[in-house]
Amino acid sequence: MQQTHIFCESPADTTPNRRTSPGGASSDSSQSGGGGTRGDSAKRYSPPLYTPALRCHFKDEGGDVAEEGSTGNGAGRCKYALSTLPKRLCLVCGDVASGYHYGVASCEACKAFFKRTIQGNIEYSCPASNECEITKRRRKACQACRFTKCLKVGMLKEGVRLDRVRGGRQKYKRRPDVENATYQNAPLPLTKESSSNIIVSHLLVAEPEKLFAMPDPLQPDTAQRTLTTLCDLADRELVVIIGWAKHIPGFLSLSLADQMSVLQSVWLEVLVLGVAYRSLGCEDEVVFAEDFVLDEEMSRAAGLTELNAAISQLARRFRTLNLDREEFVMLKAIALTNSDSVYIEDMEAVQKLRDLLHQALLELECQRRPDDPQRAGRLLLTLPLLRQTAGRALNTFYSIKTRGGVPMHKLFLEMLEAMMDSP
């Protein structure tokens, strides 16, 4: 007899690549929240999203979960204002980062150490095995390993002014792969002048690590295995998306009810956008994960032809636009706020957040492509196709669920049911 597993781990603490046996989850949706009756004003603010599995993901992050039936009177408001961002930690030693120095988030001590080393052309030697641990307490113990760690996390030698002249800003670009930074909750003001750079840089850091599908090697390579792997991967990516959303500038300023309503309505768009971006380098394949790539033949065998075609079409659109990583993370954040859910209590707050991100995208394109003033508009015009593609994905997953035989985790089931039940 199958058992339904409710995963209540915080996304920040859950290892994304941990595989839970699909056999331990049930495709029975009887326990997934169906929400209130459509048109029932008494349950307007208790949408299908308000279900145990999703609520526990928010509760485990340390916030108080709003009482069901909250009607927009401020209950469940998070303590973070729109102008706050999580503080990053130094990628070298783990101390609190004072900002981005030489391409990565780092503290003043490691920044000064790296600068000293490059300007002085200093060579170090490790007294041990070149594998010394670099922490806040032990960062002075081995200069050789500390410098090696600086280079390993991506500090750029080109960013150091060899002439020792102060003033001016570096012209190099921050490495986009600084996505492994750790967060603490602390305020960071968003000024009008710096909002674009701050938001884009923050989104690059907030981007989650890659997920791997890890198909069960004991299962034969069949359509059943493909669908099981796909649903398990989608469930784990959903958990990651929930954690990622909490690091989007301004998202935690929404009421808890609105955070969940927004996620309930757009999580699949965010997921599909990521798949399309990963598939940019493939003409006739869809890259759900690095170890889970489906071509047309494999998709046809698993009954995923329509989904494959829809995602491929979206990827071709992005390929034509030459979408880069900075634009991708901006578009992904905008997609998160592009919700028209009737369950949102404070649409003005959501619109304010959306406007903030739109403005950041406009500023980004004005800075990088001053000769192409229509660039931001063309990127935003991909959102309707993204929503259409997510609709195809929803129909595909719900069809898999209806046919049965493929295990699905409870959170994933709840979110599918919530989207199908939405007005």
pLDDT digit string (tens) for 303-319? 999 999 999 999 999 99
Computed over every residue of the chain, the mean pLDDT equals 76
Distance CA 51, CA 246 (A): 18
Q: How far is CA 38 from the centre of its chain?
A: 31
All domains in the chain, ordered by first residue: 99-159 (3.30.50.10), 198-421 (1.10.565.10)
Q: pLDDT band at 405, cuts 50/70/90?
A: confident
In this predicted model, what pLDDT tens digit does every residue of 213-227 receive, in sequence order? 888 777 788 999 999
Residue 242, pLDDT score: 92
Burial 366-385 (b: 16+ CB within 10 A, else e): eeeeeeeeebbeebeebeee
In this predicted model, what pLDDT tens digit does every residue of 329-377 receive, in sequence order? 999 999 999 998 888 999 999 999 999 999 899 989 988 888 888 899 9
Q: pLDDT band at 52, cuts 50/70/90?
A: low
Q: Which residues, listed in sequence order, are joined to residue 47 by a DSSP beta bridge?
A: none
Name which residue leads in pLDDT, 268 or 50: 268
- Host H or E run for residue 106: strand 104-106
Ordered alpha helix ranges (H), 246-304? 256-278, 296-301
Residue 68, pLDDT score: 34
Res. 178: pLDDT tops 50: no
Burial of 73 (0-12, 13-18, 19+ CB in 10 A): exposed
Residue 196, pLDDT score: 63
Q: pLDDT band at 423, cuts 50/70/90?
A: low
Residue 93's closest CA among 81, 106, 74? 106
